[in-house]
Structure 1
Amino acid sequence: MKISGGKAVLEAVKREGIGHMFGFPGGAVLPFYDEIAAETGLVHILTRHEQGAGHAAEGYARASGKTGVCVSTSGPGGTNLTTPVADAFLDSIPILAITGQVVTDLIGNDAFQEADLFGIMMPITKHNFKVLDANELPHILKMAFKLTHTGRPGPVHIDLPKDVQSAIIDFNYPDDIVIPGYQPNLRGHPNQIKRAAEMLVNAERPLLLGGGGLISSSAHQEFTALAEMLACPAVTTLMAKGAMDENHPLHLGQPGMHGRQVANYAIQNADLILAVGCRFDDRITGKVQTFAPHAKIIHIDIDTAELGKNVAATLPIVGDARLVLQDLLAMLKKLNAKAADTEWKKRVHAIKEACNCNYAYEETPIRPERILYELGLCAPKNSIFVTEVGQHQMFAMHFIKVDGPRKYISSGGLGTMGFGLPAAIGAKAARPDATVIDISGDGSLLMVNQEMATAVESNLPVVITVFNNSWLGMVRQWQKMFFGKRYSGTHLGQSPDFVKLAEAYGGEGVRIEKPGEIKEGFERAFKANHLFLLEIDIDPEWDCLPMVPPGGSNSGMIPSKACTNVVKKMHEYKY
């Protein structure tokens, strides 16, 4: 059929099974938006800033597993998309970013709102296209979508000049496409899988370490099955939260800088670590030279570039996490591997049980632990938790437990403040049946509060919980602990009344001042069928602990007061 280039984009999005796109129009993308005006099979959500569109596309992708699509005009519209694109790149999230561009004859002439978005996006995308011939658009669109979600997922960018959007083409969208030189290796080598199985059977202190690749490849069931087959303790990174039911007795929580003491103990004392779909970034390893000093490491990843990049692998295996784990489980059955009630398992379990975190704090200002404990009790079973970035993010990582994948969404590698609210909107668009809760700090929300208007206007009700301490809490904590309490540029001063702000945007809000009001506040929020904000004042002196100091080892966490019994047990069980 003969259609315009702009219409071709919409047709491709629909044929990929994607129901929503997020964007903000401008002159260089008007032909595309003209086609949207007549479109009935696809919902376009107008955000209030291009950064919001990009993060909403991320939230859509993270909640659904589909590719998220975001659109902007040229120049400043495209540069505003770079932060969410970079965020998706570091967290391996499949999004397609489409930017308008000046007409092809003017490219390179410094025309109005021209920017070299192709060049700017190059280092933060999996692949990048500049379309100069409209007839190539169906082929490019299919290639772009395939690249976003195959192999290691990630963002792809298409720079679309205005005249290409208007051009009339024969639209023949391929069912599949062969991309020269691109052939992700899905199956691990049988000899390596056999060796991995033998290493697991012979290990005395094995540990499973799961990363975000478990979520991307839907390998959560296989990961849990492996832990249960071997009765092997397991830890999951922030990006893999929910890849194993966090109430499972073998699950130890998250490792790393703000992780759990028992998770770091297990890493530092294991003699074998099977790592799946993780990249061993510095927030997990601490001082890399001291990471897992006793352990041989089996590293499974679909991206060969990650193998040996940060931590040397005794046995690297290239392949899709789910398929490799399936083959590994089959091999372990052949070897007659059985669960054993080992001394290692008993010690790790004893340390885990020694954690005496108190959730029932009654003092005011209300403690974050109490807020999140009540939230975990009240939240409906189908809830999706989305976080901003800061202390509240790490508190939530500790105290919110999820039982399955795609129920906890957070910015990991880039650590982007302002991520949470638009990502929550995208998640709600992808999963309208779910209760979506944005856990935010006041600093993060101030960056994107305008997206409350998007949620209201688009009828995408989300619940926002604002931890308000009038400071940039995590930065202040570092200044307090490592910079001699010299608080520079971190006090927010007079913030708006967030309850009234939510009401001004057309939502509802309530201020929680006493611990006894938390449950009722959340229950009201979950019953409301519109945007609902809870503002809760917290004390800036409450630090997010335990914590590995910058440049320190995972063995040297700064404990919280609640870690007393855990620390005693770790010393008792020192290897």
Structure 2
Amino acid sequence: MSEQMTGAQIMCEALIREGVEVMFGIPGGAIMPFYFAMWEYRDRLRHVLCRHEQGAGHAAEGYARSTGRIGVCIGTSGPGVTNLVTPIADAMMDSTPLLAICGQVGSHVLGKDAFQETDITGITMPITKHNYLVKDANELPYVFKEAIHIATTGRPGPVLIDITKDAMQKSIVPNWDVKLNLPGYKPTYQPNRKQIREALKLLLQAKKPLIIAGNGVIMSGAADELRHFAEKLRIPVITTLHGIGSFPEEHPLSIGMPGMHGWVHVNRAIQTCDVLFNIGGRFDDRVTGKASTFAPNAKVIHVDIDPSEIGKNVKVTVPIVGDARATLLALLEEMPAREELADLHSAASDWMEHIREMQDKHQGKQQYVNRADTLHMTLPPHDVYQKINQTLALRGNYRVVTDVGQHQMWAAQLMDWNAGPRTHITSGGAATMGFSVPASLGVAIAHPDETIWVICGDGGFQMTNQEMATIHQEGIKNIKVAIINNGYLGMVRQWQELFENKRYSGTPLSGPDFAKLAEAYHWKGITVEHSDQVQAAIDEAYATDGPVLIDFRVEREVNVFPMVPQNASIGDMITVDPQAS
């Protein structure tokens, strides 16, 4: 191109050149030139007008998490961009490729407390992979190319571009012949072969090995390689909360989720294993419990594309920096012949048998039952999950987005995750209440032919439910919302019950009639108060050609078990059955 373009037009062109198709945002004063230019590109760049910038950021996260492509969100200067801080932090914690485009006041008034001026690059420096303040339109072609490259490569994450209004308005002849120059940024994808052989040697010698699969397996597209590797060595596989979907739970080597609300047999297997192979997980404290007591008998192999994560929380015997898929392929290449694995398979059978014995002993006792000290005993939450789980398995072609709280842990525990990678989407590291409804917007746009189920609590739902208006305005019909409504901030209330003598300070929660609220937003609204109404409500949601909200008014004081108390070892779990603790 040799003709002049405004900086705002260059922004649109740069996004198209990088394959961006959809953006989520809200216009305002400083970003208006971008929106003016956007009109010319409306056939190639879809803009979704959200009702709050936090919703725009979470929608972009949902799009990115479900596709592996970059999600794009937009805010104007001042409160617009500060409203993006929460999803940016969420994306940083969960390694989500996100591009935040922000308008800034004119360069001639920068630093003078101009109307809606905010130092967003300073604010977000700790929670972005990188950020930019652009005051010259000539920089835009390179900055956008570099920003998206950084956000989507290595360990993915959020990148922010703050652009002054005059840079968007200035007309120049853009130079598109730009080449990346990042001498200090060279992610390591291929693992060191010496480390690969050392890791394999440990695994071949192990009597009680375990694999922990994290989000890195999903992000690298390594689900098939993980399954082949586990099958060859017959190693039991644990999936973290963000690793759900990386390994089918129906597989005979799958044993479940670890950590604070993981299963007793999984945590006890970790505490007794002799080699622990973590691929694509970061040993989060919700997995390890008290880190000094975690896997005390194990030699640890840790695979992560981010070298700063290795050894940060857990002492590692064999560190491997590299991409999860590339690492698994290298391990498979180094694998000995099948006949050399016979003795290993015999030991593996004994180890798996031991784990299944623990599972039979403890997991069957973890049913969520009605509590005698509660008056409202008509709808236990586990009845809702049982019916949703059965229906999803029967119908298929779905993705599930969960919010944060008790309902999130019940979903992870009680549903069978066999639909593959990127079908379970939640907020993990930041644990952002209000994530699910706007995130489902991004997921639904990316996957219009699938049914997107949202499972959220009445607390998180009320933080961002205004995005229901966005969903209606965009004509999105494939979202179904299940509110697990217990009238509390449930997870906080659980801690208050168990550790603070039932001092329910700030946790009893009121709300509107959610079904009527749904109807006000032009959705179908359904209220369920009894177990025998659950299946009919789910069937009606599927039969409705449009978005549906089901208000499941569950028993109020049901707790998530098992659980590991704060600063305790994962071997010290509180369970429904005291004898299992």
For residues 358 and 6 of structure 2, the distance between their equivalents in structure 1, rounded to whole angstroms, comes to 63
Shift of 1:18: 2.4
1:434 alignment partner, one of 445, 450, 455: 450
Shift of 1:31: 0.3
| Match status 1:52 vs 2:55 | yes
| Match status 1:397 vs 2:412 | yes
| Match status 1:218 vs 2:224 | no
| Match status 1:370 vs 2:383 | yes
2:186 alignment partner, one of 183, 187, 190: 183
For residues 178 and 244 of structure 2, the distance between their equivalents in structure 1, rounded to whole angstroms, comes to 34
* Offset from partner CA, 1:495-545 (integer Å, 9 cap, x none): 100000000011111111221221121111123221100001112211011
For residues 525 and 10 of structure 1, the distance between their equivalents in structure 2, rounded to whole angstroms, comes to 38
Kindly indicate whether the alpha-carbon contact (under 8 Å) linking 1:25 and 1:73 is maintained by their aligned counterparts in 2: yes
Kindly indicate whether the alpha-carbon contact (under 8 Å) linking 1:307 and 1:313 is maintained by their aligned counterparts in 2: yes
Which residue of 1 is the match for residue 485 of structure 2?
A: 468
Kindly indicate whether the alpha-carbon contact (under 8 Å) linking 2:137 and 2:172 is maintained by their aligned counterparts in 1: yes
Shift of 1:177: 2.4
Shift of 1:165: 1.2
Which residue of 1 is the match for residue 435 of structure 2?
A: 419
Change (3 A) 1:470 1:331: same
For residues 369 and 122 of structure 2, the distance between their equivalents in structure 1, rounded to whole angstroms, comes to 52
For residues 244 and 519 of structure 1, the distance between their equivalents in structure 2, rounded to whole angstroms, comes to 28
| Match status 1:477 vs 2:500 | no
| Partner SS state of residue 519, structure 1 | helix
TM-score normalised by structure 1 residue count: 0.95
Shift of 1:53: 0.2
Which residue of 1 is the match for residue 358 of structure 2?
A: 351
2:144 alignment partner, one of 141, 145, 152: 141
| Partner SS state of residue 238, structure 1 | coil
Kindly indicate whether the alpha-carbon contact (under 8 Å) linking 1:233 and 1:250 is maintained by their aligned counterparts in 2: yes
Shift of 1:334: 5.6
Shift of 1:65: 0.5
Shift of 1:365: 2.8
* Offset from partner CA, 1:235-284 (integer Å, 9 cap, x none): 01101110001111111111000111121111111000010111111101
Q: Which amino acid aligns with 1:42?
A: L
Kindly indicate whether the alpha-carbon contact (under 8 Å) linking 2:486 and 2:557 is maintained by their aligned counterparts in 1: no
Shift of 1:13: 2.0
Change (3 A) 1:5 1:513: same
Which residue of 2 is the match for residue 25 of structure 1?
A: 27
For residues 157 and 237 of structure 1, the distance between their equivalents in structure 2, rounded to whole angstroms, comes to 29
For residues 247 and 327 of structure 2, the distance between their equivalents in structure 1, rounded to whole angstroms, comes to 17
Shift of 1:361: 7.1
For residues 175 and 429 of structure 1, the distance between their equivalents in structure 2, rounded to whole angstroms, comes to 32
* Offset from partner CA, 1:439-466 (integer Å, 9 cap, x none): 0100001111111101111112311101
Kindly indicate whether the alpha-carbon contact (under 8 Å) linking 1:361 and 1:370 is maintained by their aligned counterparts in 2: no
Which residue of 2 is the match for residue 7 of structure 1?
A: 9
* Offset from partner CA, 1:1-24 (integer Å, 9 cap, x none): 232221222222222222211001
Query: What are the within-5 Å matches in structure 2 for residues 304-319 of structure 1?
Result: 304-319=307-322
Which residue of 2 is the match for residue 492 of structure 1?
A: 509
2:555 alignment partner, one of 513, 536, 539: 539
Bigger shift: 1-10 or 395-404?
1-10
Kindly indicate whether the alpha-carbon contact (under 8 Å) linking 1:126 and 1:147 is maintained by their aligned counterparts in 2: yes
For residues 521 and 193 of structure 2, the distance between their equivalents in structure 1, rounded to whole angstroms, comes to 58
Change (3 A) 1:10 1:229: same
Change (3 A) 1:173 1:393: farther
Which residue of 1 is the match for residue 38 of structure 2?
A: 36
For residues 332 and 101 of structure 1, the distance between their equivalents in structure 2, rounded to whole angstroms, comes to 55
Which residue of 1 is the match for residue 473 of structure 2?
A: 457
| Partner SS state of residue 197, structure 2 | helix
Change (3 A) 1:284 1:358: closer
Which residue of 2 is the match for residue 259 of structure 1?
A: 262
1:242 alignment partner, one of 233, 242, 245: 245
For residues 410 and 335 of structure 2, the distance between their equivalents in structure 1, rounded to whole angstroms, comes to 37
| Partner SS state of residue 37, structure 1 | helix
Q: Which amino acid aligns with 1:463?
A: K
Q: Which amino acid aligns with 1:542?
A: V
For residues 368 and 215 of structure 2, the distance between their equivalents in structure 1, rounded to whole angstroms, comes to 32
| Match status 1:111 vs 2:114 | yes
Unaligned runs of 5+ in 2: 371-375
Q: Which amino acid aligns with 2:44?
A: G
Which residue of 2 is the match for residue 16 of structure 1?
A: 18
For residues 336 and 144 of structure 2, the distance between their equivalents in structure 1, rounded to whole angstroms, comes to 43
For residues 507 and 121 of structure 1, the distance between their equivalents in structure 2, rounded to whole angstroms, comes to 36
Query: What are the within-5 Å matches in structure 2 for residues 37-116 of structure 1?
Result: 37-39=39-41, 40-116=43-119
For residues 168 and 218 of structure 2, the distance between their equivalents in structure 1, rounded to whole angstroms, comes to 35
For residues 368 and 124 of structure 2, the distance between their equivalents in structure 1, rounded to whole angstroms, comes to 47
Change (3 A) 1:519 1:152: same
For residues 258 and 444 of structure 1, the distance between their equivalents in structure 2, rounded to whole angstroms, comes to 19
For residues 3 and 521 of structure 1, the distance between their equivalents in structure 2, rounded to whole angstroms, comes to 53
Q: Which amino acid aligns with 1:293?
A: P
Q: Which amino acid aligns with 2:472?
A: V
1:340 alignment partner, one of 342, 345, 360: 345
Shift of 1:175: 8.0
For residues 120 and 27 of structure 1, the distance between their equivalents in structure 2, rounded to whole angstroms, comes to 20
| Partner SS state of residue 428, structure 1 | helix
Kindly indicate whether the alpha-carbon contact (under 8 Å) linking 1:364 and 1:515 is maintained by their aligned counterparts in 2: no
Change (3 A) 1:238 1:176: farther
Q: Which amino acid aligns with 1:414?
A: A
Bigger shift: 8-17 or 535-544?
8-17
Shift of 1:351: 2.3
Bigger shift: 343-352 or 450-459?
343-352
For residues 552 and 346 of structure 2, the distance between their equivalents in structure 1, rounded to whole angstroms, comes to 45
Shift of 1:221: 1.2
For residues 317 and 396 of structure 2, the distance between their equivalents in structure 1, rounded to whole angstroms, comes to 40
For residues 318 and 420 of structure 1, the distance between their equivalents in structure 2, rounded to whole angstroms, comes to 32
1:231 alignment partner, one of 214, 230, 234: 234
Shift of 1:353: 3.8
Q: Which amino acid aligns with 2:576?
A: S
1:154 alignment partner, one of 142, 153, 157: 157
Which residue of 2 is the match for residue 268 of structure 1?
A: 271
Unaligned runs of 5+ in 1: 569-575
For residues 443 and 171 of structure 2, the distance between their equivalents in structure 1, rounded to whole angstroms, comes to 34
Identity within the alignment, %? 45
For residues 284 and 224 of structure 1, the distance between their equivalents in structure 2, rounded to whole angstroms, comes to 22
Change (3 A) 1:15 1:523: farther
Change (3 A) 1:451 1:548: same
| Partner SS state of residue 303, structure 2 | strand
Which residue of 2 is the match for residue 572 of structure 1?
A: none
Report how many aligned residue pairs link the two structures. Answer: 564
Shift of 1:357: 5.7
For residues 319 and 337 of structure 1, the distance between their equivalents in structure 2, rounded to whole angstroms, comes to 26
Which residue of 2 is the match for residue 571 of structure 1?
A: none
Kindly indicate whether the alpha-carbon contact (under 8 Å) linking 1:546 and 1:559 is maintained by their aligned counterparts in 2: yes
